[in-house]
Structure 1
Amino acid sequence: MLDALQVVTTVLVGLMVGVEVSVAFVINRILDALPEDSGQLGRAHGGRMLGALMPFWYIGSLVLAAIWAVAAWGQQGTGLVVTAGGLLILSVVMSILLLVPINNRGKTWTPENRPADWKQQMNRWDRFHYVRVAVIIAAFTLLVVALV
């Protein structure tokens, strides 16, 4: 049972990392290159869509890592899982304090109602997101090492 938990947790976190890397380095770059208001509309739609899914994914990953740490307590690699869990906590805190407020504003914007500094706000979200991506990549790496 522990083996299945370890694999499911690692795969779930790995998929989350893949989505977030894609957002950071592919999707947002594509959206930023679109003409006129298309990029801003795409970011707003993405903010609504992923903003509804990602809280469950982040919290679910954290819960699974915590269960893994408790279930494997005293075994080799548990310290890595605990550290990964700490990084996942950091990613959730970063999300709530830094990224979600910007996302909540941005997902409601249209070309007619967006603020004059909308691009600066999106760039700020991107910078925070890069740091969050680094944090969850580190957590994923620790889980992989603990698994093997």
Structure 2
Amino acid sequence: MVLVILALLLNSALLMGNEFAVAAFIHPSLSGKDHRSNLVVIQHFANLYGRVMPIWMGVTTALHIIVCVMAWFYSPLVFSWLLAAALIWIIVIPYSLFFPVPLNNQVKEWDLNNLPANWEVIRNRWDIYNWIRVMLLMTAFIALSIGFRLTVE
């Protein structure tokens, strides 16, 4: 049980760290003074993440559910923390599909020579939605970490 949770913990840390890096460093860097000139790079990231993240997040959510079921038989206390983490992950998936992903899909399709009038508003809204997702992932990671800590005591 400990090794399974440890593997999930490492995977979740990588995913959360990736999302944090995008929110805290990549997007602010690309949204600086000459924001418009970086849209090609932003579209490239939108395409890449649009292919990778659904798989990574889907697998991570499934693993959270599996580990949670395993913890049901292991310890009620560990189960409660892992359930909290799994429930947050279950919330993150539809949240992502309804909020940041549609905006990401718009950005991917933009004609850079004919941007929509509200393109900067869309980018700023995506940043806000992504920060909310990062906060949810951090909360899930804390719950998972507590669950892991309880398994090794």
Q: Report the alpha carbon displacement of residue 38 of structure 1 after superposing the two structures with TM.
A: 2.4
Aligned residue identity for 2:125: R
After superposition, the C-alpha distances for 1:49-92 in whole angstroms (9 at most, x for unaligned) are 11111111111111111110111214131111111111011111
Q: Report the alpha carbon displacement of residue 128 of structure 1 after superposing the two structures with TM.
A: 0.7
What residue ranges of structure 1 are gaps of 5+ in the alignment? none
* Equivalent residues in 2 for 1:45-84, closer than 5 Å: 45-74=44-73, 75=75, 76-84=77-85
After superposition, the C-alpha distances for 1:24-70 in whole angstroms (9 at most, x for unaligned) are 01000110125363222221111111111111111111111111011
- The answer for the alignment partner of 2:124 in structure 1 is 123
Tell me the secondary structure at the aligned position of residue 33 of structure 1: coil
Tell me the secondary structure at the aligned position of residue 13 of structure 1: helix
Tell me the secondary structure at the aligned position of residue 113 of structure 1: coil
| 1:5 paired to 2:4 | yes
Aligned residue identity for 2:61: L
| Aligned-pair Cα RMSD in Å | 1.3
Aligned residues: 147
What TM-score does the superposition give when structure 2 sets the normalisation length?
0.91
Distance 1:143 1:36, change over 3 A: closer
Aligned residue identity for 1:15: L
- Contact 2:71–2:82, Cα closer than 8 Å, also in 1: no
For 1:12 and 1:34, how far apart are their aligned partners in 2?
34
For 1:9 and 1:113, how far apart are their aligned partners in 2?
43
Kindly indicate which of the two structures has a greater share of residues assigned to helix: 2
Q: Report the alpha carbon displacement of residue 93 of structure 1 after superposing the two structures with TM.
A: 1.0
Structure 1 segments of 4 or more deviating over 4 A? Answer: none
For 2:85 and 2:70, how far apart are their aligned partners in 1?
15
Q: Report the alpha carbon displacement of residue 19 of structure 1 after superposing the two structures with TM.
A: 0.5
- The answer for the alignment partner of 1:37 in structure 2 is 36
- Contact 2:81–2:144, Cα closer than 8 Å, also in 1: yes
Tell me the secondary structure at the aligned position of residue 113 of structure 2: coil
What TM-score does the superposition give when structure 1 sets the normalisation length?
0.94
For 1:92 and 1:113, how far apart are their aligned partners in 2?
32
The worse-fitting range, judged by mean Cα deviation, of 32-41 and 55-64 is 32-41
